[in-house]
Amino acid sequence: MKTSARNEFSGKVHALIPGAVNTEVVLDIGHGQQLVAVITNEGVAA
């Protein structure tokens, strides 16, 4: 699957895994596939 920063994915947040600085966001995009992104903790709080 090609992707870029401008792509948008539909799905449901499956998990938020907080760390000291960043949080992993696990998105269920269907068909048994998940997408994992790392964002800042500030981004989670927004």
Question: Is 43 a residue whose pLDDT tops 80?
Answer: yes
pLDDT above 90: residue 2: no
Mean pLDDT of 6-13: 85
CA gap 21, 5 in Å, rounded = 21
2 compared with 39, residue with greater pLDDT: 39
Phi, psi (rounded to 5 degrees) for 45 = -70, -20
What is the enclosing helix (H) or strand (E) of 27? strand 22-30
